[in-house]
Structure 1
């Protein structure tokens, strides 16, 4: 169990830093105490699912995305889809729409119909 706590903590820290947030900012966004975030990141706390959901929502990642790096076998068949989602998530809605239209055009070129 210690190993999974460490892996989860590392993932929380990675995502928090990617957002440029302090532990206090994540704790505020997730509605948990800032000392709890520190304990999680150090692997000192057993997380309950409710806390994981709060933090992933605050970090704007799905549970699948969160756990995919902890256990790469999770969602392995969807890895390309996950890569596309990661690419799109920080784009504007307008850019997302343009890219979707490009994908539709390419899909039709391969003979697939919607």
Structure 2
């Protein structure tokens, strides 16, 4: 797992927590399971650019905020 994946995942987690959204709720927003959300946040699950755009839109942020 690369350092970049960990950093992106940590930024997603921080933004999600600031909004008060659980992993389960966030998964429903993205159309994925809470397990997949956990994978994104820990850097264990690959994140496509399309998914990053969905994540950003769901959190009301720009995709570049996570890079």
Equivalent residue number for residue 27 of structure 1: 27
Following TM superposition, by how much is the alpha carbon of 1:53 offset from its aligned partner in structure 2, in angstroms?
Answer: 1.0
Alpha-carbon RMSD across the aligned residues, in angstroms, is 1.3
SS in 1 for 2:21: coil
Aligned pairs, number: 67
- What is the TM-score when the length of structure 2 is the normalising length? 0.88
Question: Which blocks of at least 5 consecutive residues in structure 2 are unaligned?
Answer: none
- What is the TM-score when the length of structure 1 is the normalising length? 0.54
Q: Which moved more, 1:9-18 or 1:45-54?
A: 45-54
Structure with bigger gyration radius: 1
Question: Which blocks of at least 5 consecutive residues in structure 1 are unaligned?
Answer: 68-114
